[in-house]
Chains A and B, each alone.
Chain A
Amino acid sequence: MNAKANKNQVTCIEPDYYQAITEAIRKEAVKILKDETVVGVVGYLPGRRKGTASPALVTTVEEAEKLIFSPACVNNLSVYLTKAKKGVLKQGKVGIVAKGCDMRALAGLMTESQLQREDLFIIGVVCPGVYGFGVERTGTLTEANIARKCRECTVHMPEGADVAAGTHAELADLTPEEAQEMARIEAMPQAERWAFWKEHFSRCIRCMACRQVCPFCYCEQCLCDKNRPQAVESSPRPAGNMAWHLVRAMHLAGRCGGCAECERVCPMDIPLNLLNRRMAQELKELYDFEAGLTPVDKGPLNEYKENDDQSFIK
C-alpha cells in the first residue's frame, strides 16, 4: 500500500463529500449547457425513495441544477452514448458524468470507434465508491454498504476527464471480497465449479438486463436473439442459460471495463462479474492487456502477435 493512498483513507465517507461533488457537477453542467459546449448532459437525478438515484438526460440549465452525486449513483452512464440508445440524445457534443470505472467503458468504446473523444465533455468523479445491492442506504458510505466492485477499485481518480469533481478519499482496509471469491472458485475441484455455475445460471430468467445495461453490448442484432440459425436457445432453460452466459462472457473478453453493471442489475443475483474478471485476468496473463482509462489501437482479441502462446495447440 502506498503512502499517498494511506493519507486519504478513512473508515467512512460522509454525505458532505458527495455533496461537494454534487455542487461541482452542477456548476460544470450548468456552465457547459449555458455556453452551448454540449447539447445535453448525462448525469444522475435523485429517485423518489430515500437513497436512490436514476440516470438522467439533461438538456436545460434548470434540470442541470438538480443533478446529484451520491453513493446511490451506481449506473454506468456510458451505455446512453452507444448505438443501443441511439436517438435518445440529440446529435452533438454531450457531457457525461463518469466515475473511474465508467471511464474505462468510455475508453473501450473509443477503442472500438463507437465514440470520439472530441464529441464528449467528461465530468469525471473522484469516486470513493457506491452502494452495493440491497444494503442500507444511509447517505454515508462504509465498509458495510459499499459495492463489491468498489472494494478493489484502482480508478478512484478519473484521469483524462475534462474536469474532475471531488478531492480524494477512499475507505481503508477493505477486504477484497471478489478476489477471495475468485480464489475460492478457482480452488474448487472441476465438478464443483460446474455445479456452482450450473446452480447460478439455472436461476437466470433471461430478462437480458445484463446485456441491456452493458456499454459493450451495442450490437444491433444480438447473436442470442437470432433463431435462423439459432446459436443459443432463447428459452429460459438451464441449457440455453449456460450457453448465453458463456457467449456473453466470451463476447466481452478483452473489452469489458469491469464496471460490474451486469452483476448489479441481475435480479437473480448471479455473480456475472466473476466471469468477466476471469477473462480479464487471462488476457492480462497471456497478452498483458488491461482495460484502462485511455483508448488503445486494438483490443487484445482484435490483434495478434506471431509468437503468441500456443502451448495448448498440437
Chain B
Amino acid sequence: MHVEVTKHDFEPKIVAFVCTWCTYAGADLAGTSRMQYPPNVRVLKFPCTGRIDPVFILRAFQKGADGVLVSGCHPGDCHYMAGNFHARRRFAAFRALLDFVGVDLNRLQFSWVSAAEGGKWVDVVTELTERVRTMGPMPEFKELEHEEQWSGAINTPELKEAYDSIG
C-alpha cells in the first residue's frame, strides 16, 4: 500500500489528550486497521477525560502546540461512570475563558471517540490538522515564553524600537 505524501509549507504541531479506555483504543484501532491520518498529532494517554486539567492545554500551547485535541468516551460510556460528564462542564467553562482572553477556539477541539470509532478518530485528527494548517502557527503563547519584564531583559524591545527609529 502506498499513499502519496503531500509536502506542506507548515506542519502544525497537534497535541491530543485522550482517555485510555475509548479514544486511545479508537486511535489504536485506526492504526491496526492501517487507516491513514496526519502524523502531526502527538497522543498523550490519560485514565479519563476527567483527569485532563485545563492547565495541560495551556502548557501544550505554551510549549509549542499549534492545536490541541481533547477526546474521550461518549457520554454514558465513561469507565469511571461520570468522568467525561464532569470534563464536559469544565471544558465548556474553559473555552469561554480562553475566548475571553483572546485565544482562537478553532485551535482547540473536543471530541468523543469510542474504541470502535477508528474512522472517527481519523476524521477528527485530519480535520483539526488541516484547519490549524490553514490558520498557521499559533504565535500567542509561544511569543509570551520569550518575553521578559523590562528589568530582566538585557535589551528591551521597546528601547530597541526607539533606537531603530532614531536611526
User: Contacts A232-B55, A236-B149, A239-B141 hold; do A250 and B85 have CB atoms under 8 A apart?
Assistant: no
Contacts of B54 in A (CB 8 A): 246-247, 250
Cβ of A234 to closest chain B Cβ, rounded Å: 14
Contact status A279-B97, CB under 8 Å: yes
Interface flags for A224-239 (1: CB within 8 Å of B; 0: not) read 0000000110001111
Query: Are the C-beta atoms of B93 and A283 separated by less than 8 Å?
Result: yes
Say yes or no: is B42 at the interface (Cβ < 8 Å to chain A). Answer: no
At the interface, yes or no: A275 with Cβ under 8 Å from chain B? yes
- Asked if A193 lies at the interface with its beta carbon under 8 angstroms from chain B, I say yes
A202-243 near B? 1/0 per residue, CB < 8 Å:
100000000000000000000100000001100011110011
A187 at the interface (CB under 8 A from B): no
**A191 contacts across to B, CB distance below 8 A:** 102
Contact of B149 among A202, A247, A286, A314 (CB under 8 A): A202
Report if A278 contacts B (CB, 8 A): yes
For B96, give its contact among A243, A278, A313 (CB under 8 Å): A278
Total B residues in contact with A, Cβ cutoff 8 Å: 42
Residue of B whose beta carbon sits closest to that of A233: B62
Partner of B144, one of A186, A188, A198: A198
User: Does B17 touch A at the CB level, under 8 Å?
Assistant: no
Please measure, in the bound complex, the distance between the C-alpha atom of A305 and the C-alpha atom of B89, giving whole angstroms: 9
Question: Are A194 and B89 in contact (CB-based, < 8 A)?
Answer: no
Residues of chain B within 8 A (CB-CB) of A196 are: 102
**Do A238 and B95 form a contact, CB below 8 Å, given A193-B100, A197-B102, A300-B89?**
no
Pair B124/A275 contact, Cβ less than 8 Å: no
The closest CB in chain A to the CB of B112 belongs to: A313
* Chain A residues whose CB sits within 8 angstroms of the CB of B140 once the complex forms: 194, 198
Question: What's the minimum C-beta distance from B67 to chain A, rounded to whole angstroms?
Answer: 13
Q: B53 — which chain A residues lie within 8 A by C-beta?
A: 231
Q: How far is the CB of B159 from chain A (nearest CB, A)?
A: 16
A165-208 vs B, CB cutoff 8 Å, 1 = contact: the mask equals 00000000000000000000110101111111110001000000
Number of A-B contacts defined by CB within 8 Å = 121
A310 touches B88 (CB 8 A): yes
> Nearest CB to that of B85 among chain A residues?
A304
CB distance A304 to B100 under 8 Å? no
Q: Produce 1/0 per residue, B66-104, CB < 8 A to A.
A: 000000000110000010011011111111111111111
**A239 CA / B95 CA spacing, docked (Å):** 19
Q: Does B148 contact A (CB under 8 A)?
A: yes
- The answer, yes or no, to whether B145 is at the interface (CB within 8 Å) is yes
Task: Check if B147 is an interface residue, CB within 8 A of chain A.
Answer: yes
Chain A residues with CB below 8 A from B86, complex form: 301-302, 304
B89 near A304 with CB under 8 A, answer: yes
A254 an interface residue at 8 Å Cβ cutoff? yes
Range of interface residues on A (Cβ < 8 Å) = 35 or more
CA separation between A249 and B76, bound complex, in Å? 29
A282 to B93, CA, bound (A): 7
CB of A309 closer than 8 Å to a CB of B: yes
Picked from B88, B93, B149, the residue with its CB within 8 Å of the CB of A313 is B88
A188 partner residues in chain B, CB cutoff 8 A = 102
Whole-angstrom CA separation of A309 from B82 in the bound complex: 15
CA distance A286 to B89 in the complex (A): 9
A237-B89 contact in complex given A278-B96, A312-B95, C-beta closer than 8 Å: no
CB-CB under 8 A from B101, the residues of chain A are 193-194, 197, 242, 246, 275
Q: Report the separation of the CA atoms of residues A231 and B111 in the bound assembly, to the nearest whole angstrom.
A: 24
* Min CB–CB distance B95 → chain A (angstroms): 6
B51 proximal to A (CB < 8 A) = no
For residue B58, which residue of chain A has the nearest CB? A243
For residue B24, give the distance in angstroms from its CB to the closest CB of chain A. 17
Closest 10 A/B residue pairs (Cβ): A194-B102, A193-B102, A304-B85, A282-B96, A314-B111, A238-B147, A313-B110, A239-B144, A197-B101, A278-B100
Residues of B bordering A, CB below 8 Å: 53-55, 58-59, 62, 75-76, 82, 85-86, 88-105, 109-112, 124, 140-141, 144-145, 147-149, 152
Provide a sorted-by-A list of 6 A–B residue pairs whose CB atoms are within 8 angstroms. A238-B149, A246-B97, A247-B54, A278-B100, A301-B89, A312-B92
